[in-house]
Amino acid sequence: MERKIRVLVAKPGLDGHDRGAKVIARALRDAGMEVVYTGLRQTPEQIVAAALQEDVDVIAMSILSGAHNHLFPRVMDILRERNVQDILVIGGGVIPDDDIPALKAAGIAGVFTPGTPTSATIDFIKNNLKRSV
């Protein structure tokens, strides 16, 4: 049976470019994962809907605009409303250290700031999946 880690890479919020998200998407692909890329300006509702249709194991969000404190927890709220517990959710982008504890408390399992090597994100995903792939 062929098993692959499936990841949704999404950019919530109003950021104008998605270079960082594309870099991580390619790195995950090169690590052998199937990456569904949804592009810019996704609402939390769209992100969750896409994640469910695509049956992904991981949601990886990237944000530069500073709206992470609102948008990341919002995604977690919608997942909870839909009773989804087995998707690993991680976030990256320009996120001040002070914000990280609250994001983790909200359920964002890993937070990756600029400069984190992509290999760290890949390892984190492999070691923290919430369901067996």
Q: How far apart are CA 73 and CA 108, in angstroms?
A: 8
Contact track, another protein, 55-94, x by CB under 8 A: x----------------------------x----------
Q: Residue 46, interface with another protein (CB under 8 A)? A: yes
Q: Which of 96, 117, 110 is nearest to 23 (CA)?
A: 117
Q: How many residues bind another protein (CB under 8 A)?
A: 30
Q: How far is CA 11 from CA 36, 111, 121, in A?
A: 12, 14, 16
User: Which of 4, 70, 80, 104 is the binder for another protein (CB under 8 A)?
Assistant: 4
Confirm or reject binding of residue 17 to another protein (CB under 8 A).
no
| Phi/psi of residue 91, nearest 5 degrees | -140, 155
Contact call for residue 129 and another protein (CB under 8 A)? no
The length of the chain is 133
In the complex, the smallest distance separating the C-beta of residue 100 from another protein, rounded to whole angstroms, is 28
Alpha-helical regions (H) of 18-85: 19-30, 44-53, 68-81
Kindly tell me which residue out of 12, 13, 28, 79 binds another protein, with binding defined by CB under 8 A.
28
As given in the structure block, the two tokens for residue 29 are: 């692909």
Position 35 contacts another protein (CB under 8 A)? yes
Positions touching another protein (CB under 8 A) are 1-4, 6, 25-26, 28-39, 42-43, 45-46, 49-50, 52-55, 84
